[in-house]
């Protein structure tokens, strides 16, 4: 008796759950040779609004967690990624048409990059913050704080590594994320959502939309409750128009990056979505 395989349905990842698009739309994901792989949800602007609501609801708990706890939670994500290594390799080979060796290298680098960012959670404040010299009987201390809800257009030429490279740095300091995954290679993005859901990341901290960045990005850019916009993967879009749409409400906009070094891990990618709070306190004269 021949056993039928169970085809996977790739949905969105919003608020810790896996809903279909409210529009009911899907689109076909194919191999580079044009062979059918799966149907993925085609997110709508309503899905984008729902994702922002979920991200806003999770900001208090995630930003309020200790830096050490955030680091432990993110490290747990890397552990689960490692356990599902073979699945991600298979998906990358199928989507991108690369060799198994190249797919394995991409998964390895994505896991290593996630661990690298996890390690900065309880160290970044010491690097970015400082005690400022002042002329007077005062302490003047500056410390970084999260910006809030960060909307991300993930790199479109990478299924997993680009996604991890864009999402992980925003999480380090306590931001929550709404990310629009690669339109051509969305399968690993939803599989990453499954990893997040089965690790310790609270629902709403990361929200994954699949579909057309050209359709979704303008709504995220102009959304009044989005605090920052990372256009790292928006190079093929009209990103100056997105930046203009964001100007009235978004506090931070990070421009597109091109080439193999796009979203290279760096402290600057963490710094891009932080605000600096400076506190003055009197010194005791005794």
Q: At what angle do helices 213-222 and 239-246 cross, to 10 degrees?
A: 20
Start-to-end Cα distance in the chain: 88
The β-bridge relationship of strands 149-153 and 228-230 is parallel
Residue 260 has pLDDT above 60, yes or no: no
Residue 286 has pLDDT above 70, yes or no: no
Residue 61 pLDDT: 97
Quick check: 203 and 53 in contact, CB under 8 A? no
Q: What would be the CATH architecture of the domain defined by 26-282?
A: 3-Layer(aba) Sandwich (3.40)
**Average of per-residue pLDDT across 9-16:** 94
Measured CA to CA in angstroms, residue 106 lies from 83, 85, 95, 160, 165 at distances of: 15, 10, 13, 7, 11
In angstroms, rounded to a whole number, what is the distance separating the alpha carbons of residues 135 and 199? 49
- For residue range 99-120, list pLDDT tens digits in order: 999 999 999 999 999 999 999 9
Quick check: 165 and 181 in contact, CB under 8 A? no
- For residue range 149-194, list pLDDT tens digits in order: 999 999 999 889 999 999 999 999 999 999 999 999 999 999 999 9
In angstroms, rounded to a whole number, what is the distance separating the alpha carbons of residues 130 and 115? 25
**Average of per-residue pLDDT across 256-282:** 82
Quick check: 115 and 75 in contact, CB under 8 A? yes
Residue 128 has pLDDT above 80, yes or no: yes
Q: Please choose, from the candidates 113, 99, 83, 94, the residue with its C-alpha nearest in 3D space to the C-alpha of residue 40.
A: 94
**Average of per-residue pLDDT across 219-229:** 96
Which of 137-141, 158-162, 243-247 has the weakest average pLDDT? 137-141
Query: For residue 144, what are the β-bridge partners?
Result: 276
Residue 190 pLDDT: 94
Q: What average pLDDT is seen over the chain?
A: 92
- For residue range 78-89, list pLDDT tens digits in order: 999 999 999 999
Residue 234 pLDDT: 94
Quick check: 15 and 48 in contact, CB under 8 A? no
Interior CA angle at 170 toward 169 and 172, to 5°?
A: 65
Residue 277 pLDDT: 82
In angstroms, rounded to a whole number, what is the distance separating the alpha carbons of residues 32 and 96? 6
Residue 141 pLDDT: 79
Residue 55 has pLDDT above 90, yes or no: yes
Quick check: 193 and 104 in contact, CB under 8 A? no
> How many alpha carbons fall within 13 Å on the CB side of residue 183?
15
Measured CA to CA in angstroms, residue 227 lies from 29, 52, 247 at distances of: 31, 10, 11
DSSP per position, 96-147: H---HHHHHHHHHHHHHHHHHHHHHTTTHHHHH-EEPP-SSSEEEEEEEEE-
Residue 219 has pLDDT above 60, yes or no: yes
Instruction: Identify which has the larger pLDDT, 276 or 81.
Output: 81
């Amino acid at each position: 008796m021949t056993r039928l395989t169970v085809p996977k349905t790739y949905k969105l990842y919003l608020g810790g759950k896996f809903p279909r698009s409210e529009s009911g739309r899907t689109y076909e994901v194919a191999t580079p040779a044009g062979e059918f792989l799966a149907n993925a949800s085609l997110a709508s602007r309503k899905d984008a609004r729902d994702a922002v609501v979920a991200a806003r609801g999770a900001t208090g708990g995630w930003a309020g967690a200790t830096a050490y706890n955030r680091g432990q939670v993110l490290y747990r994500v890397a552990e689960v990624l490692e356990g599902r290594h073979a699945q991600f390799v298979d998906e990358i080979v199928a989507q991108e048409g690369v060799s198994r060796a190249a797919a394995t290298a991409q998964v390895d680098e994505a896991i290593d990059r996630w661990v690298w960012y996890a390690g900065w959670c309880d160290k970044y404040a010491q690097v970015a913050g400082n005690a400022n010299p002042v002329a007077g009987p005062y302490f003047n201390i500056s410390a970084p704080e999260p910006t809030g809800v960060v909307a991300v257009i993930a790199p479109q030429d990478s299924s997993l590594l680009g996604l991890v490279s864009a999402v992980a740095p925003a999480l380090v300091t306590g931001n929550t994320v709404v990310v629009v995954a690669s339109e051509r290679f969305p399968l690993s993005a939803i599989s990453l959502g499954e990893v997040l859901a089965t690790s310790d990341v609270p629902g709403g901290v990361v929200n994954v939309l699949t579909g057309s960045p050209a359709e979704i990005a303008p709504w995220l850019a102009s959304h009044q409750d989005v605090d920052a916009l990372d256009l790292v993967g928006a190079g093929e879009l009209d990103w100056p128009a997105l930046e203009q749409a964001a100007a009235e409400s978004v506090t931070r906009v990070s421009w597109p990056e091109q080439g193999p070094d796009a979203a290279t891990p760096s402290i600057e990618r963490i710094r891009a979505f932080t605000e600096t709070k400076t506190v003055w306190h009197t010194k005791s004269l005794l």
